[in-house]
Amino acid sequence: MTIKQNLLNKLIQPTIRIVDSLTTIGLVKAADTHNKICTVIYKNKNGILQKKENVTVRFLDSGLDYFPIVGDYVVLQLEGDICTIISKYTANDSSKESAKQQISQDIYSDSTGANPGGTIY
């Protein structure tokens, strides 16, 4: 590397330090509605349970803000040492919905002259 490149990289245009960002799920153990902070337990990027106090809640301008209560599962955004609750965690459990659906007719009809199998009317 030339002297010019060293000066450009180190003095004139220094590279910004990359901060690790992680989105994970946590459990609220304590909530302070007056100060708008919570205490949460979550697994860090190494899979180790951690307890974080004084976690702030991100509020949006929509007016439909959510503040967690004790026992809620929340989505956390971790950037370095900063931890923020960004939303309530809702599991995508589609198995409950698919269990409610029923077939209205026999798919494979065994009577002669009936519609071919594989169609539902």
Whole-model pTM over 0.75: no
How would residue 38 be classed by pLDDT, with cut points 50, 70 and 90? very high
CATH code of residue 68: 2.40.50.320
DSSP string, 12-65: ISPPPPPPPEEEEEEEEEEEETTTTEEEEEEE-TTS-EEEEEEEEE---TTS--
And the tokens for 70?
């004790």
Do the domain assignments include residue 5? Answer: no
Do the domain assignments include residue 115? Answer: no
pLDDT, tens digit (0-9, with 9 covering 90-100), for 43-98: 887 788 999 999 999 877 655 577 899 999 999 999 878 899 988 888 765 555 55
Asked if residue 85 lies in contact with residue 56, where contact means CB atoms within 8 angstroms, the answer is yes
Do the domain assignments include residue 121? Answer: no
Q: Domain of 80?
A: 21-107
How would residue 3 be classed by pLDDT, with cut points 50, 70 and 90? confident
- Structural domains of the chain, count: 1
Do the domain assignments include residue 103? Answer: yes
How would residue 1 be classed by pLDDT, with cut points 50, 70 and 90? low
